[in-house]
Structure 1
Amino acid sequence: MIKKIQLPLQTINLILGFMVWVTLSSLLPSIREDIIIPQERVALLTAIPVVLGSILRIPLGYYTNVLGARWIFTISFIVLLFPVFYLSVANSYLDLIISGAFLGVGGAVFSVGVTSLPKYYPKERSGFVNGIYGIGNAGTAVSTFGLPVLAAQFGWRTAVQIYLVLLLFFIVLNFFLGDKKEPRMKTPLMQQIKEVYKNEKLWLFSFFYFITFGAFVAFTVFLPNFLVTSFGLSKVDAGTRTAIFIVIATAGRPSGGWLGDKFNAYKLMMGVFAGLTISAIILAFSPNLALYTVGCLGVAVSAGLGNGVLFKLVPQYFTKQLGTVNGIVAMMGGLGGFFPPLMLSSIHNLTGQYSIGFMALSQVSLASLILILWMYFDNKKAQKI
């Protein structure tokens, strides 16, 4: 019974973790009404939670194999009580930076499930299982849509404090329903890294996830404030549109995992990067909200499918070091969400527009398409030998 509930339990854990992770960016338009934040520092503030949320994915993936998902989720949610409370009483830009950095723990829990759940299912279902777990990305949609609504009704500080209650509930839930007998692997972390760091596929998968998940995270934290300042939308409207983007990208993840189980994952990734290339070009030449919406939806579909397909590929090449490899790949994906908002903000400050930044995304996606083509033909050649 306990083993059967791990997939739904860990999926809702990820939903909560991602809800907390994007709390700051979701409420930023409301927070700026109370706390002075210079425009040139907005991008840094929204990117800060992404840093710790990315770097911690390696140790959390590793220690999931050592201690089990039950303890890692429980400890992570206990730690998150501090930054959530601190954010709710923040009165300065420094307070926001400090709380935002530790909110990153919410994003780091992603590597817990992708390490733990494959232990309960056969390899041929790994893509679908990781895709279902990836539905937890919807937590970002819950916050970007729900928090502005709650803030409008009760104030943004009260909206943040509601998450304290949720965290306490999930701490108890994981303590009692987490699997106490999850299989453990205790190979030292540095030994696992030494075994995989020379494998070119690790870094190619990391680069691909840097683009696909990075695009998802970057648009999630960038869109709410961007839509308000650039198109004059209301905070609730901007939150709703961002939530739609997240829902589409999140729905694409299990779809990508399922497709990865049924079809050639390399061919699917070719379609993903072709879609990202075209969508980014549309964004670069978007003079109005309608075209911008088309480009964003294209990114949502492509990134969502790519996130699901990629974690079908990883377990095919790494088994003994799966926790560490998942952590490294997941870290790179998170860091992929850190740099774009800063880059777009810098480009806008220099040129007064974002087009160059979106063109850069299209070119990096095109380079990824070329690399995945090379991997596909190299893999076919290896199979013939």
Structure 2
Amino acid sequence: MSESKLNLFSFTGKVKTLHLTWFAFFLTFVVWFNHAPLMAAIQEAFDLTTQEVKALLIINVALTIPARIVIGMLVDRLGPRIIFSSLLLSSSFICFWFAIADSYTALLASRFVLGFVGAGFVIGIRMIGEWFPAKQVGVAEGIYGGWGNFGSAAAAMILPTLALMFGGDDGWRYAVAATGAITLAYSFIYYRLARNTPKGSTYFKPKKTGAMEVTSKGDFFFYLLMNIPMYAALAVLTWKLGPDNLKILGASAANAIYIGLAALYAYQTSQVWRINKHVFKEEVPEIHRYKFKQVAILDLAYFVTFGSELAVVSMLPLFFKETFDLSIVQAGLLASGFAFMNLVARPSGGLFSDKFGRRKMLSLLITGLAIGYFILGQITSGWPLALAVIATMACSFFVQAGEGAVFAMVPLVKRRMTGQVAGMAGAYGNVGAVTFLTIFSFVSPQIFFLVIAGAAVVCLLAVQFLDEPQGHTAEVMEDGSVQMIEVS
């Protein structure tokens, strides 16, 4: 096997780890979105209103933002093998809980907790980063992310048919439970076959747990600033579920959550201080420094790429239906093309980054994304349907290739904190989705697309300050010696 090519038909060494891990991620997405294609049956079974259905969809992603931060810390501390196995195991039982729910309250509670499985993505980023060298890590992360993300599309294609095969009013329950059973079995398979690192390699862990390490005074305050949008997004979700919107939460409950979010931010700030107060007393040696701006810029890039993908996938079927007067089935099939591009686009973004440079490719792909959304903002009922679909697919390629380019660089920032860097970037993807969907609730689809295009232009400017990984990064071994890890 050459340095630049992967034999994906192999099932040994690092390629075995890649296959084991992308399938684990695939299952987390199947489980995370197993309710969406069955929502019509669930709505009928519980006689749900449109508002109750919307609340069920929103609450499914509410826990994912903090979960990705927490999982990022755990995977850096305990290793991806045990964390991924544990996540699969626990999510399978939550699946069973959702499948046997006998009230709307039980549906809401189980979907809220199941939002934690959306953090599975973060675990594999660290695992793949451990097994693949810098010259291959982009394409490997792209395959992992792209093929794993396809789990949501696979759920949409397979579960309705599976529910019909089971038949009866409870067909949807058996279909959901089946995904839980497969996930339960695979949790043991992953634990048995996966390993955190290649034989003889060291798994580097953070010196302290509780917050991300920074290496300068300026980065300390930059880190605190970058934490704010994640709490703001959770506040927006609370507002959506609150008395002024979906009315799932009462005023007292909503206010309690707002106070809780403020308290959590204060607590996290105290943890950031505990972990990093030494930077105010003495300078960190140059060999151990990294620039937090690298993390912040990658966060913004994922905000625009994955954030816009989640938002657009949510609204695109209705957009096609209303713009071109299509049936629900036709609109859904045409809109599904946006997610289908993940299979090819995300690995392509990683591959191009490996070959042509990280910053250069991210800049090019975000430029294409901005142009793509600008074109989508021009679509009207006067457009030929085929042209609108082609424009959507082209835009989707740049969006998902951009996601691949972001995570081609995440493992190269600081090895021992890869889980935390991936967790923060992943959380920003969900923040982007909340932001863009909130904007969509106030504007037309055309303005919505143009807003994303504008956000992409701002992100493009930020990407120009990204430093291309060069040379080596230093990590300290348990015996105190320093190991240099190639990042270019």
Q: TM-score, normalised by structure 1?
A: 0.85
- Matched with 2:310 is 217
Match of 1:146 among 147, 153, 158: 158
Which is worse superposed, 24-33 or 60-69?
24-33
**Which one-letter code corresponds to 1:245 in the other structure?**
F
| Residue identity opposite 1:190 in structure 2 | G
**Quick one: distance in 1 between partners of 2:50 and 2:144?**
36
2:153 aligned with 1:160: no
Q: Residue 332 in 1 paired to residue 428 in 2? A: yes
In structure 1, which of residues 235, 252, 259 is the aligned counterpart of residue 352 of structure 2? 259
1:281 touches 1:358 (CA, 8 Å); kept in 2? yes
- Range with bigger deviation, 275-284 or 236-245: 236-245
Q: Hey, what does 1:129 align to over in structure 2? A: 140
1:375 CA displacement: 2.0
**Is the Cα–Cα contact under 8 Å of residues 62 and 323 in structure 1 kept in the other structure?**
yes
Aligned length: 373
Partner of 1:13: 24
* 1:106 counterpart (99, 117, 120): 117
**Residues in 2 aligned to 1:362 and 1:241: alpha-carbon distance in whole angstroms:** 22
CA distance in 2, matches of 1:359, 1:103: 33
Q: CA deviation at 1:126?
A: 1.5
Q: 1:312 aligns with which of 394, 401, 408?
A: 408
Residue 22 of structure 1 deviates from its aligned partner by 1.6
SS in 2 for 1:190: coil
What letter matches 1:189 in structure 2? T
**Alignment CA distance shift 1:62-1:286 (3 Å):** same
**3-state SS, counterpart of residue 416 of structure 2:** coil
How well do the aligned residues superpose, as a CA RMSD in angstroms?
A: 2.9
Q: Which moved more, 1:266-275 or 1:209-218?
A: 266-275
Aligned runs of 1:211-290 on 2, under 5 Å?
A: 211-223=304-316, 236-288=329-381, 289-290=385-386
Q: Structure 2: how far apart are the matches of 1:163 and 1:357?
A: 34
Q: Distance in 2 between matches of 1:44 and 1:278?
A: 33
How far is the alpha carbon of 1:174 from its aligned partner?
A: 1.5
Instruction: Report if the CA contact (8 A) 1:60-1:108 is conserved.
Output: yes
Q: Aligned partners of 1:333 and 1:206: how far apart in 2? A: 8
Secondary structure of the equivalent of 1:320? Answer: helix
SS at match of 2:205: coil
- Alignment-derived partner of residue 201 in structure 1: 294
- Tell me the alpha carbon deviations over residues 56-81 of structure 1, each in whole angstroms, 9 at most, x when there is no partner: 11222222222222211111112212
SS of the equivalent of 2:341 reads helix
> 1:188 maps to what in 2?
208
SS at match of 1:338: helix
The alpha-carbon deviation at position 277 of structure 1 amounts to 1.9
Equivalent of residue 371 in structure 1, options 462, 468, 482: 462
Q: 1:194/1:97 Cα in 2 relative to 1: closer, same or farther (>3 Å)?
A: farther
Correspondence 1:356 to 2:447: yes
**Aligned-partner residue type, residue 285 of structure 1:** Q
3-state SS of paired residue (2:44)? coil
TM-score (norm 2): 0.69
SS at match of 1:189: coil
Distance, in Å, in 1 between the alignment partners of 2:188 and 2:132 is: 26
Q: Partners in 1 of 2:295 and 2:36 — Cα distance?
A: 31
State the shift of 1:112 in Å. Answer: 0.4
Q: Following the alignment from structure 2 to structure 1, what is the Cα–Cα distance between the partners of residues 387 and 150?
A: 24
CA distance in 2 between partners of 1:363 and 1:70 (Å) = 40
Cα 1:287–1:39 shift into 2, 3 Å: farther
Matched-pair contact (CA < 8 Å) for 1:88–1:158: yes
The 1:46/1:296 distance shift into structure 2, 3 A limit, reads farther
Q: 1:103-147: CA deviations, max 9, x gaps?
A: 223321100011122112222222122112112111111012222
Who is 2:82 aligned against?
A: 71
Q: Tell me what 1:169 maps to.
A: 185
Distance in structure 1 (CA, Å) of the matches to 2:97 and 2:335: 25
Q: Name the amino acid aligned to 1:356.
A: I
The one-letter amino acid paired with 2:123 is V
The alignment partner of 2:76 has SS state of helix
Q: C-alpha displacement at 1:100, in angstroms? A: 2.0
State the secondary structure of the residue aligned to 1:33: helix
Bigger shift: residues 279-288 or 31-40:
31-40
* 5+ long unaligned stretches in structure 1: 381-385
Q: Distance in 1 between matches of 2:66 and 2:364?
A: 29
Q: Does the aligned pair in 1 maintain the 2:307–2:431 contact within 8 Å?
A: yes
1:383 is matched with none
Give distance in 2, aligned partners of 1:261 and 1:186.
26
Preserved contact between residue 55 and residue 331 of structure 1 (Cα < 8 Å): yes
Q: Structure 2 stretches of 5 or more lacking a match? A: 1-11, 223-291, 470-488
Percent sequence identity is 28
Match of 2:58 in 1: 47
Counterpart residue number, 1:62: 73
8 Å CA contact 1:249–1:303 kept in 2: the answer is no
In 2, Cα distance between equivalents of 1:326 and 1:116:
11
Q: How far apart are the structure 2 equivalents of 1:23 and 1:305?
A: 25
Amino acid at match of 1:164: G
Cα gap change, 1:122/1:211 in structure 2, threshold over 3 Å: closer, same or farther? Answer: same
Query: CA 1:367 to 1:192, structure 2 compared with 1: closer, same or farther past 3 Å?
Result: closer
